[in-house]
A and B are shown apart, each in its own frame.
Chain A
Amino acid sequence: MIRLTIDDQEIEVREGTMIADAAARLGIDIPVYCYHEALGPLGACRMCLVGVEKMPKLATACTTAVQDGMVVHTYGEAVDKGRKGVLEFLLINHPLDCPVCDKGGECFLQDYTFQYGPPKGRFKEPKIQKVKDGPINEFVLIDQERCVLCQRCVRFMDEYVGEPQLLLDGRGVETVVTTVDGVPATSQFSGNVIDLCPVGALLSAPYQHKGRPWNIERQESVCTMCPVGCTTLATGRDGHIVRIEGRPVPDRSWGWLCDRGRFGYDYATDPTRLTISFLHANPEAAARTTRQVGHWMSDVMRDAGPDSIAVVMGGLHTVEEAHQVHAFAKNVIGTSRLSISRDVPGYVPRVLNGTYADIADADTILLVGVDPYEAVPVVHLKLRERQKSKRPVKILAVAPRDLSRDSLDVNTLITHAGQEAQVLGWALSQGMGTHPAVKKLAATAPVGVADEDLTALSEALGSSEHLTILWDGLQNEVGSVLAALADARGEKATRILPTWGPSNWRGFERAGFSADFDALTSLLEDARAGKIQMLMTFGADLLREYPDERLVREALQKVPHVVFEGLFRPTEPSLYGAQLPQAGPGEVAGTYVNMEARLLSATPSVTPPGQARPVKSYLTAWAHALNKPFVADDDWDPYGDDTADLLPFDGIQAKVWALKPPNLGNASGMELVTGALVIENGIPSHILEPRAPKFPGRISPQDAEILGIVGQGLVRLGKDGREIRVPVTVDERMTPGRIFVPLGMASCPVNRLGLGAVEVARLEEVPTT
């Protein structure tokens, strides 16, 4: 530890700490533009000049490491003049167009000039003119004249994200930040540069000229687009959310967001948003539809009993709302047919759930199926930060496609579709075969996987001191293997991060619903068998989500009363007797649970649009129709007594069961593989349209040649008489014999076919998507 004095206050900090950070710990504000803790020191802006006794010149606090006995002064004649000088320099070529700048009022150039700057400039010559409002991409604008060249954006993209799509061009005073070769930045982390920019140079294109700091409401919120659960600030103006920013949480999160989360807020005003209700597909006042649903409910309960009503929870509801629905279903209706809408069958019990700290602490990280970059983007950044840190880490993957990319080095063991559990199970039985849990797996040798790969995997799983696993849940049996793995590894940490949606599924589980996939399947089978008279879905679009579209369709056709409550019109609205508008994130107060099983609370910044209302108001109306009391338990909260903001343990144990050998299908066709794409999570966004893949399917160059596809094309995937049409692109990273189609895309629903063997043929038509 190093002891030093800053402005007459003594402090002890770790060796290697910069003066700026030491001062921050004392609550002393040192102005700075270029320095950001996540990016490390640079020393470019010279704003953080401080005086250090026995040093002849002023020192930059962000690049000068503390020394024992150092005496630092953050003010004084020389320091004040130095800062004044730097600010005057920064302003000579600054356009001073604060009145029309979006950053005006929340700008560090304004703030520091006010606090430390000269009252008046002495520069009389013409200012250098540069590009104003030039595009970085569809979402980010750059005003090069306002730029102070702190390089935060350039360094973030290059060093932190590993996608060097911004650079400094030109020299000296002509230096500008721009994109590489004028090509728009494609990184899905591009929006973070807006938050990083300390001045008004990098601006959100959709937010441009939409509001000033003094006429907006900014509330702490949570992103619900994927299970990462990034903390956000939601800006509301005139009843609409008009901006999402990252919200750093000390010691936990830098506040990064992916562009999906940052710019996807316009779903709330999407034309497909339900703002009125529908009764038998006809528009109807919400109050009337609610009343009608109440009548159905009362009739069904009288005629067929409460258990003939089934309730499925899903979508973007809060834990509290789920709890209210659960209480209503249990206590008012009295049904036991309750389930969570699932798009993958996997399950991880709370007891094995890891946190992001397990990524930082791991020596080995295993990705099972999931491509973090596409499914849980900000976790990709966490993995990259881990890989860049000094302590070595192995990142392995078991998946039917290569998960390595330029920005993250992943050693992938490429399996067949549906073979992951067998590969993992067999690797486990090689190294820890004597453990009873592993024995119980009864793993068999996988076909087509090299022995040395299995041995390497087995060794990595066995020898790791801290193993962290990310799993996409696509293959249920992996859950059994992971349970056995955790058991066999005993004391050594084995933590799992489930990356599937709905983003708040763990919160619904906390509210009382079962996340067991089989519960949902048997509920749907019961419906198909005519045992259910009324099906109520909250936030869930089963037809899109459930892995077997046919089962859902047949079930929905069979049930007399299907009630849908959600944010958007469901797939095939004609199947629903009633559709009710839901109040979404940013419109209701509540709590969400992310993939860490961490509770994150959100404050609403706007009120729900149209007739959308919190779920409680529907429940209360129905209870009234049923003539039963309903207490919404407003004092219930999902927190546990001694797990802080993590969910309490629920007593569900990890289960191990014997694996069935995978059915790899016939060798002649191709294998359909899938995975979540955060951009295609079913939540519409006009702003993000340019990012939606036009050719979402992916095939290997070899298969493209066989099919006669050059670059991009349209294919037909068929299986058992069912088919989907998929615009595909050739992807070098795909393994021959596999075709990737993202999960849950309305235009090419994977759940119509199911995974595994499919017949693939090229279509001559030019895709119009």
Chain B
Amino acid sequence: MSQASHYLLRNHDIENIDEMAVYRAHGGYEALKKALNQYEPDALVELVKKSGLRGRGGAGFPTGVKWGFLPKDGRPRYLVVNSDEAEPGTFKDRELIEKNPHQLIEGMIISSFAIGANQAYIYCRGEFLFGYETLVRAVREAYEAGFIGKNILGSQFSLDLFVYRGAGAYICGEESALLESLEGRRGNPRLKPPFPAVAGLYGMPTIVNNVETISNLPPIVTRGAEWYASMGTEKSAGLKIMSVSGAVNRPGNYEIPLATPLRSLIDDYAQGMKPGYRIKCIIPGGSSVPLLMPDQLDTPLDYESIVKAGSMLGSGGCIVLDDTVCIVKASHRLIKFYREESCGKCTPCREGTYWMADVLERMEEGLGDANDLSLLMDVADNISGKCFCPLGDASIGFLVSAIKHFRDEFEAHVTEHRCPLGAKVYDTANN
């Protein structure tokens, strides 16, 4: 891959940018100074709105609009950064916190100033021990440098920033479950409304943003909203980090302007498929989204175009499945993930994922029967739209599209009583 410069993944260009000195030598915390000196909080919110920045955690909700939902009633407000990145196929936040933590911290300080929060939290995924330790160190450095604490850079603005490590639960990436966990309770999603912007952490107005979203703040403040909006499309502006995995030559994180074609991501950025492998299908936005077929490779990677193509941009976890992958095995592996990660609160998700995993396992083992496919579709239908939080719907996104596109392969498992592909690829130790 040959991109000259990065805005978010500057660690690709600059060695040791996770260290305060290196980060500052390359313009670090200048955006913060600019924000504190040249902007009123409301103007910053306006700036973010104008930039067209949308939530990069998966839902793609306009960030500035979300900030505008905070009620102006004098209650304390909180900023919470969601670093519970656990979506299979997505590993962008991990790189951002491990390799470029100061960018996130700077973004958080700017965002807190913009929304009027004096306390900010990073909720770090439990398994990200290294990222957590890096963040803790970086936060300490920022405190020592006076970027966090009382009267930052001589302004009236004070901020405390806490890093909290979760206990390892995918569901805690759902913002209300995250808040429950952050408050010390079982990570189960909360009833909405009220939304976190009205009653979030400790019942106070809270903004929950993704790591990547907040990491966009320093470049936007430095270069302006117009610069950011100039990339991508009108509705999907700016930069997006895509995590590419699968049988490509260079899997990894790539920072792309939105609306870059999927084909370009795979062929140019990830340098194409490994020799001997052909694309079977692509999960463009993390394991929760429906798959795209090879004939859809020209789809531009922006929120609207992907939806039009029948999938979602999601968290940007682009999993390339090659032609050695058994679609039943892959579905089983993904459903098993959701079965393990279902919090157990609501019935369809808790029981449905368990059931589907069992049926898929049976099919893959050659023990399926003729009714299993319709049973799977019906169970998926009983989950669809009936769960408490999006996890249930997420669990069937891939499966339903897989059955739609690869019904033959599913049926072959049943009629031949075995996996026609032998399914070697996804035989992980975790089976």
A149 to B346, CA, bound (A): 8
Residue of A nearest to B341 (CB): A172
With a cutoff of 8 Å between Cβ atoms, the chain A residues found around residue B371 in the complex are: 122
Closest 7 CB pairs of A and B: A85-B382, A175-B344, A89-B351, A57-B385, A172-B342, A125-B358, A173-B354
What 0/1 readout, one digit per residue, does chain B (334-350) give for beta carbons within 8 Å of chain A?
00000111111111101
**A172 and B339 contacting across the interface, CB-CB below 8 Å:** yes
* Complex contact A90–B386 (CB within 8 A): no
Contacts of B352 in A (CB 8 A): 89
A123 to B352, CA, bound (A): 11
The chain B residues found within 8 Å of chain A, CB to CB, are: 169, 186, 188, 191, 339-348, 350-355, 358-359, 362, 371, 375, 379, 381-383, 385-388
CB-based contact A45/B347 at 8 Å: yes
When the two chains form their complex, are residues A171 and B341 in contact, meaning their CB atoms are under 8 A apart? yes
| A49 contacts partner chain B, Cβ-Cβ < 8 Å | yes
A86 touches B382 (CB 8 A): yes
Q: Are B386 and A58 in contact (CB under 8 A)?
A: yes
- A and B contact pairs by CB, cutoff 8 A, 22 listed: A44-B345, A46-B388, A82-B386, A84-B382, A85-B382, A85-B383, A89-B347, A89-B382, A148-B347, A168-B344, A171-B340, A171-B341, A171-B343, A171-B344, A172-B339, A172-B344, A173-B344, A173-B351, A173-B354, A175-B343, A175-B344, A175-B350
Are B382's CB and A149's CB within 8 A? no
CB-based contact B348/A86 at 8 Å: yes
Q: Across the interface, do A44 and B346 meet the contact criterion of CB distance under 8 Å?
A: yes
**Residues of chain A from 40 to 87 with CB closer than 8 A to chain B in the complex:** 41-47, 49, 56-58, 63, 81-82, 84-86
**Contact for B382 among A41, A88, A168, CB less than 8 A:** A88
Q: Closest residue of chain B to A151, judged by CB?
A: B345
Nearest-CB residue, chain B, relative to A41: B191
A92–B339 alpha-carbon span in the complex (Å):
15
Q: How many angstroms between the C-alpha atoms of A45 and B351 in the bound complex?
A: 11
Output the nearest chain A residue to B349 by Cβ-Cβ distance.
A172
Bound-state CA distance A431–B368 (Å) is: 83
- A168 vs B354: C-alpha distance when bound (angstroms): 18
The interface residues of chain B lying within 8 Å CB-to-CB of A45 are: 346-347
Selected contact of A168 from candidates B186, B339, B353, B355, CB within 8 Å: B186
Residues B354 and A92 in contact, CB atoms below 8 Å apart: yes
Q: Assess whether A171 is in contact with B169, with CB atoms less than 8 Å apart.
A: yes
Closest residue of chain B to A148, judged by CB? B347
Main secondary structure of the interface of B (DSSP, over half): helix
Question: A172 and B346 in contact (CB under 8 A), knowing A46-B386, A46-B388, A85-B386?
Answer: no
- Write the residues of chain A forming the contact surface with B, with a CB cutoff of 8 angstroms: 41-47, 49, 56-58, 63, 81-82, 84-86, 88-90, 92-93, 122-123, 125, 128, 148-149, 151, 167-168, 170-175
Kindly state the separation between the CA atoms of A218 and B431 in the bound complex, as whole angstroms.
53
Q: How many A-B residue pairs have CB under 8 A?
A: 100
Contact call B355/A123, Cβ cutoff below 8 A: yes
In the bound complex, CA of A49 to CA of B188 (Å): 20
Known contacts: A41-B191, A122-B375. The answer to whether A49 contacts B344 by CB under 8 A is no
Closest chain B CB from A332 CB (angstroms) = 66
> Could you say which residues of chain A place their CB within 8 Å of the CB of B351?
89-90, 92-93, 173
Specify which of B186, B352, B354, B358 lies most central, judged by the most chain A CB atoms within 10 Å of its CB. B354
A172 in contact with B350 (CB, 8 Å): yes
Whole-angstrom CA separation of A56 from B386 in the bound complex: 11
Q: Complex Cα distance A589/B341, Å?
A: 56
B348:A46 contact, CB within 8 angstroms? yes
State in angstroms the CA–CA spacing of A25 and B120 once bound together.
45
Whole-angstrom CA separation of A84 from B110 in the bound complex: 50
Instruction: Tell whether, in the assembled complex, residue A125 and residue B344 are in contact, meaning their CB atoms are under 8 Å apart.
Output: no
Q: Taking CB as reference atom, which chain A residue is nearest B189?
A: A43
Residues of A within 8 A of B339 (CB): 172-173
Closest Cβ of chain B to A119, distance in Å, is 15
Residues of A within 8 A of B354 (CB): 92-93, 128, 172-173
Q: Is the CB of A90 within 8 A of B347?
A: yes
- Using known A-B contacts A89-B355, A171-B342, determine if residue A46 contacts B186 with beta carbons closer than 8 Å: no
Residue of A nearest to B338 (CB): A172
Of listed A44, A58, A171, residue having the most chain B CB within 10 A: A171
Q: How far is the CA of A484 from the CA of B76 in the complex (A)?
A: 46
Knowing A43-B191, A168-B186, the reply to whether A57 touches B386 (Cβ < 8 A) is yes
Residues of A within 8 A of B350 (CB): 89, 149, 172-173, 175
Minimum CB distance partner of A154 in chain B:
B186
**A299 CA / B167 CA spacing, docked (Å):** 83
- How near does chain B come to A155, taking the closest CB pair, in angstroms? 11
5 extra A-B contacts, CB within 8 A, seeds A92-B354, A168-B188: A41-B191, A46-B386, A46-B388, A123-B355, A125-B362
Docked complex Cα distance between A304 and B339 (Å) = 86
Contacts of B341 in A (CB 8 A): 171-172
Give the residues in chain B near A125, CB-CB below 8 Å: 355, 358-359, 362
**Contact A43 B382, CB 8 Å, known A167-B186, A171-B340, A171-B341:** no
| Chain A: minimal CB distance from B190 (Å) | 9
**Complex contact B344–A149 (CB within 8 A):** yes
Are A172 and B387 neighbours in the complex by a CB distance under 8 Å?
no
Q: Would A43 and B346 count as touching, CB distance under 8 A?
A: yes
Most A-side CB within 10 Å, residue of B347, B354, B382:
B347
B388: A residues at CB distance < 8 A: 43-44, 46
